[in-house]
A and B are shown apart, each in its own frame.
Chain A
């Protein structure tokens, strides 16, 4: 296969792959939505005044923080039926929602920790510091988009899954490496754009924060 043929092949399949990347974004956004709501609730529990409420919020956060996302994918895929009845209504539970749920658990743990810090800043009327929650949230969104590729293992037709499909369908020795690299560039491009935006936002916020960086602001850990 010449370089030209390879490029032509990649070009042909790009719309199909792009649709797959759309799934990555959808799954990630839904995971962020679910996780942020749950995480926010957990943070509110943890900042409460009641001992029992505070500690149950803490325990749930620990659980969410330590849940292995990749294993949770399989867990939900195997345990939750794809279709079931609830109060007489048939509910459909497709793989992509399960993937969002699995990723959402990790988001909940992360948001709970960061939102708690933000709530404490707000209570001390440190609005600018509390705003640091926004870049932290965005950087985690990036991590979740990377992790959303694991949804391929339970059959979500996202980018990596579609790259596999293309490789299997074209069946050309040596093409696999290029298709995977092409898929990687999609992720890389998205990350670069998001990071640029995020850096701009961070600088904007940090201009209003007059204190040195502390260790809590070191980059968040990837791979939930």
Chain B
């Protein structure tokens, strides 16, 4: 596993480069160069209708081509179009063969290492699901654990599996995926939203709809050479795109090329048109020439560009290589916090459940109730002598499989809560029964009164506290039932971001804190109990 190390040398280098950059005279200005040349060279796709393709006359046309022409207009020069492919577009712009690239390029953090992305982005598309209108799916969360159809090789399949916990069956073609949906092999079809809306418009999807909010929106950006960041060309192009969002020019282009209305453009228009009471636009460049953070795609922005908590965590990442994604990525944060909440809830339920059941079982064992005591003793020993993981599997997969054949489904949270409670209750019961025997000292049996219970409970307090701390630690096992608790959340973020070092340490710290809280709560009750009896 490769890992960048924080080092003072790196820090020093960063400072030196920043200082040298500020001090050196401006290099040859690209915008100046374009104006002197008299034309701007723009790279566009030639095989991607309707964004960049050749018409019947062999001319390059499309959404991106119109964008290129408008840029030339804004600069005040002619345009020279150069066909590019996904494979060579970044090199061409970095080598200076083209001035601008407008070629259906998604704006990602890794590409930002190589080129300067013009903000705001000029188009964007995300994932959505084509659903039967009577499917009763109101939010993405309703889809959790359900099976959806997808297309092989699609970016969304992986994201849907890891981040949304959907089951994705990937098909080879759009036709197969569509047919599978019609045959009810899956509840919906996850794919590029633009394409799904396009499908809907064909009129062949009576009774279906795309109703969820767009997910995983990937903005498309125009890019220029890396060293042009913050310089006149960058500012001019950015201002131009911002103006397009305000005037709705991009939406008219969308209509012209027969694209379905993109939520990205709709949202961008709202954002960039927003103004305060005095009529001043919210999204305006500050003195450093940067857009306000709320107008930008935060997940893509690098640390030096923004302030606040997000900026801080991104700066940490740049300097030390530590990717604390839950601080700047709202999706990761949601997944993580949801996991933390679920783990805390599961811990609370199992601790309380195992205490109540443990005392009850233990008392019944102590009272030597015919039949019941023997059964409970055998059951407790059985629970202690088999692995809890296997107990979870038997109930969830084994019993669950049998129940599924009968038409019932088992809830993972419920199974985890019940099995883990019973597991810890068994140890509590044995400890409590022994303590009750000791407290009764063989003369008479304890009654089920608060006083008697407390006498026995005080004796086995340490053992019960240990059991409770241990069951809190064991809640992570619920992740094996695909319950999106803390372990599951952490590993799925690692699968996406590759930040195992950060997430694993966070996970460990969270569990330490949970265990310590549990122990401290027990200690507090113990003190209060002692104070009361004194």
A5 interfacial contact with B, CB 8 Å:
no
B435-A215 in contact (CB<8A): yes
Chain B, residue nearest A139 (CB) = B384
Residue contact B398 to A187, C-beta cutoff 8 Å: no
Interface residues on B, range: 35 or more
Is A59 positioned at the interface, with any CB of B under 8 Å from its CB?
Answer: no
The closest CB in chain B to the CB of A177 belongs to: B398
Query: A78 in the interface, Cβ–Cβ < 8 Å?
Result: yes
CB within 8 Å of A: which B460-519 residues = 460, 462-463, 466-467, 469-474, 476-477, 479-480, 487, 490-491, 494, 500-501, 503-505, 507-508, 511-512, 515-516, 519
B244 within 8 A of A: no
Provide the main secondary structure of the chain A interface. helix
In the assembled complex, the CB of B355 is this many whole angstroms from the nearest CB of chain A, namely: 13
Q: Which residues in A have their C-beta under 8 angstroms from that of B519? A: 66
B1 within 8 A of A: yes
Report if A180-B384 is in contact (Cβ < 8 Å); known contacts: A74-B507, A75-B507, A218-B463: no
B300 CB to closest chain A CB (Å) equals 26
- Closest A residue to B490 by beta carbon equals A74
Taking a contact as CB atoms under 8 Å apart, the answer to whether B476 and A71 are in contact is yes
- Please, which residues of chain B bring their CB within 8 A of the CB of A163? 393
Residue among A74, A173, A188, A221 making CB contact with B504, cutoff 8 Å: A74
A177–B508 CA distance with the chains assembled, in angstroms: 33
Chain B interface SS verdict (over half) = helix
Q: In angstroms, how far is the closest chain A Cβ from the Cβ of B142?
A: 28
The residues of A that contact B490 with a CB separation of less than 8 Å are 74
A68 CA to B512 CA, complexed, in Å: 7
* Size category, A interface: 35 or more
- Contacts A74-B504, A75-B507, A173-B401: A187 and B386 contacting too (C-beta < 8 A)? yes
Given known A-B contacts A75-B508, A81-B1, A219 and B463 have beta carbons under 8 A apart: yes
A146 within 8 A of partner (CB): yes
A-B contacts besides A150-B477, A191-B384, 19 pairs, CB < 8 Å? A70-B477, A71-B473, A75-B504, A78-B491, A78-B504, A79-B1, A79-B504, A142-B385, A150-B387, A160-B393, A167-B397, A173-B405, A174-B405, A177-B398, A184-B386, A191-B386, A213-B438, A215-B462, A223-B423
Binding site for A on B (CB under 8 A): 1, 382, 384-391, 393-394, 397-399, 401-402, 405, 423-424, 427, 430-431, 434-435, 438, 459-460, 462-463, 466-467, 469-474, 476-477, 479-480, 487, 490-491, 494, 500-501, 503-505, 507-508, 511-512, 515-516, 519
